[in-house]
């Protein structure tokens, strides 16, 4: 039995949900509001970072990078063609580079800002959105999507010929940004075509049903034809 | 033949040098000044992040996390007892959690600030140090070192009974902070005892010979008895 401590609009949490979904592993979701810094949660992960995965009575697996590797080590080998990690060390390095692109760079330059300004501030009652920060994050988003479009002009999936963790990392971020109505699909046709493919996978269904109280999703968020 | 693009006081670069040193793998070092954003370097790693490792004529392995995993995949198995990655997935998750603690949290809250304010600004001619930022980073450093001292009150090494990548991650950061004369050893005796052990390992020798032009190292930086 797996328990996942997550937050609905945390892109790292969504990545873990998508990976578990692709591997068809059931999980119990435990909602964490990151801004509350709940004491019981900090005991599990002193860094206070989501997601945290617990398998049976085992120790917590803390953070999106360690969870990705843990799932490969405990499930990957058995998945055959559906393994989310490529076989060759070079291909794995390229996949990990792109995962870190989203986990660290896209998070720090785009997603974290927009989720905080548009949702977390409202949910935590800590002031109104800073339009300057949102403008900067939107400028950064254009650069990120241009890069994704460029990758997908040369590849079928984000890190190569096959679906991998890198697609789930990108999908986790883009799904949060799509929820917030921040995606300009017309300017990024390759990204749109790729997202239509990944969005229709069964692992995306629970994500597309997500709702946060303070803000409904964009109109086409849950549509497979957008 | 391995080439490593690095910067002397980049803690992530130091981690890669230490790991290669532990595995007794020779490397050619290529100096990068991160603030220059050199075009040829950005072609290797569009994220602009150090370190970048290139093996023979292979593709670049970009970033500290991917390099750590790549070295384990290509060298780890052959190292026997000297492997820097534990065997069990839970132990690996704990080691990766602590690596991320240093790679991400300690970097963002402490090391990055102090290296930038004390060294990079001088080397790049971009203004004088911000004392407010340095004070905040020093406050954060106390919390980090208290945590390291706590870990080492229960363990022989940072992530458990054996030397692992987590010790090199911690050592990479602490060596940068020690260079900058920011370590208050008297308040953190467990960290001091552990650092004396790791500092005397052969992999540390090149690090202890490091010098940046604009700032000499602290008096005891290279002393094994400090």
Q: What tens digit of pLDDT does each residue of B112-140 get? A: 999 999 999 999 999 999 999 999 999 99
* Residues of chain B found within 8 Å of residue A100, distances taken between Cβ atoms: 47, 63, 65-66
- The per-residue pLDDT of chain A, averaged, comes to 97
Could you tell me how many CB contacts below 8 A there are between chain A and chain B?
A: 74
pLDDT of residue B85: 97
Tabulate helix, strand, coil % of chain A (nearest 5).
Answer: 60, 10, 30
Closest by CA to B186, choosing from B148, B216, B215, B226, is B226
B60/B70 Cα distance (integer angstroms): 11
For residue range B195-207, what is the model confidence (pLDDT) as tens digits?
Answer: 999 999 999 999 9
* Residues of chain A found within 8 Å of residue B59, distances taken between Cβ atoms: 90, 93-94
pLDDT of residue B206: 97
Strand-strand pairing, B52-55 and B2-6? antiparallel
Is residue B61 within 8 A of residue B53, CB to CB? The reply is yes
Q: Closest-CA residue in chain B for A147?
A: B46
Is residue A119 within 8 A of residue A214, CB to CB? The reply is yes
- The per-residue pLDDT of chain B, averaged, comes to 97
- Interface probe with B: pick from A44, A96, A158, A164, most Cβ of B within 10 Å: A96
Question: Which helix (H) or strand (E) element contains residue B2?
Answer: strand B2-6
Tell whether B42 lies on the interface with A, counting CB pairs under 8 A. no
Phi then psi for residue B41, to 5 deg, are -70, -40
Whether ipTM > 0.90 holds is: yes
pLDDT of residue B60: 98
* Residues of chain A found within 8 Å of residue B69, distances taken between Cβ atoms: 69, 92-93, 96
Q: How confident is the model over B13-33, as a mean pLDDT?
A: 97
For residue range B139-169, what is the model confidence (pLDDT) as tens digits?
Answer: 999 999 999 999 999 999 999 999 999 999 9
Distance from CA of A55 to the nearest CA of B (A): 10
pLDDT of residue B153: 97
pLDDT of residue B90: 98
Range 52-91 of A in CB contact (< 8 A) with B? 58-59, 61-63, 65-67, 69-70, 73-74, 89-90
Q: Spell out the residues 6+ positions from residue B139 whose beta carbon is closer than 8 angstroms to its own.
A: none
Closest by CA to A14, choosing from A193, A226, A223, A221, is A221
For residue range A177-211, what is the model confidence (pLDDT) as tens digits?
Answer: 999 999 999 999 999 999 999 999 999 999 999 99
User: Please, which pLDDT band fits residue A55 given cuts at 50, 70 and 90?
Assistant: very high
* Residues of chain B found within 8 Å of residue A159, distances taken between Cβ atoms: none
Of B45, B59, B90, the CB nearest to A59: B90
- What is the pTM assigned to this prediction? 0.97
Q: How confident is the model over B96-123, as a mean pLDDT?
A: 97
pLDDT of residue B58: 96
User: Is residue B150 helix, strand or coil?
Assistant: helix
To the nearest 10°, report the CA torsion of B143, B148, B153, B156. Answer: 180
Of B45, B74, B147, the CB nearest to A89: B74
**CA dihedral sign, ordered A170, B51, B16, B148:** negative
pLDDT of residue A85: 97
> Cβ of B73 and A90 within 8 Å?
no
- Interface probe with B: pick from A51, A77, A93, most Cβ of B within 10 Å: A93
For residue range A115-156, what is the model confidence (pLDDT) as tens digits?
Answer: 999 999 999 999 999 999 999 999 999 999 999 999 999 999
């Amino acid at each position: 039995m797996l328990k996942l401590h997550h937050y609905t609009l945390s892109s790292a949490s969504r990545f873990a949900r998508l990976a578990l979904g692709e591997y068809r592993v059931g999980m119990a979701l435990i909602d964490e509001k990151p801004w509350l810094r709940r004491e019981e949660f900090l005991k599990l992960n002193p860094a206070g970072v989501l997601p945290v995965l617990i398998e049976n009575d085992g120790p917590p697996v803390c953070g999106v990078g360690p969870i990705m590797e843990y799932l490969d080590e405990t499930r990957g080998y058995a998945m055959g063609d559906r393994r989310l990690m490529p076989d060759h060390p070079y291909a794995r390095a390229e996949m990990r580079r792109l995962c870190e692109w989203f986990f660290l760079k896209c998070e720090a330059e785009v997603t974290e800002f927009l989720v905080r300004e548009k949702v977390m501030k409202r949910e935590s009652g800590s002031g109104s959105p800073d339009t300057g920060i949102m403008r900067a994050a939107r400028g950064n988003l254009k650069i990120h999507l241009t890069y994704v479009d460029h990758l997908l002009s040369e590849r079928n999936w984000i890190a190569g010929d096959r679906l991998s963790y890198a697609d789930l990392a990108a999908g986790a971020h883009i799904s949060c940004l799509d929820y917030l109505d921040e995606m300009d699909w017309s300017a990024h046709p390759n990204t749109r075509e790729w997202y239509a493919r990944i969005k229709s996978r069964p692992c995306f269904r629970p994500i597309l049903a997500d709702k946060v109280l303070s803000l409904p999703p964009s109109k086409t968020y849950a549509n497979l034809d957008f």
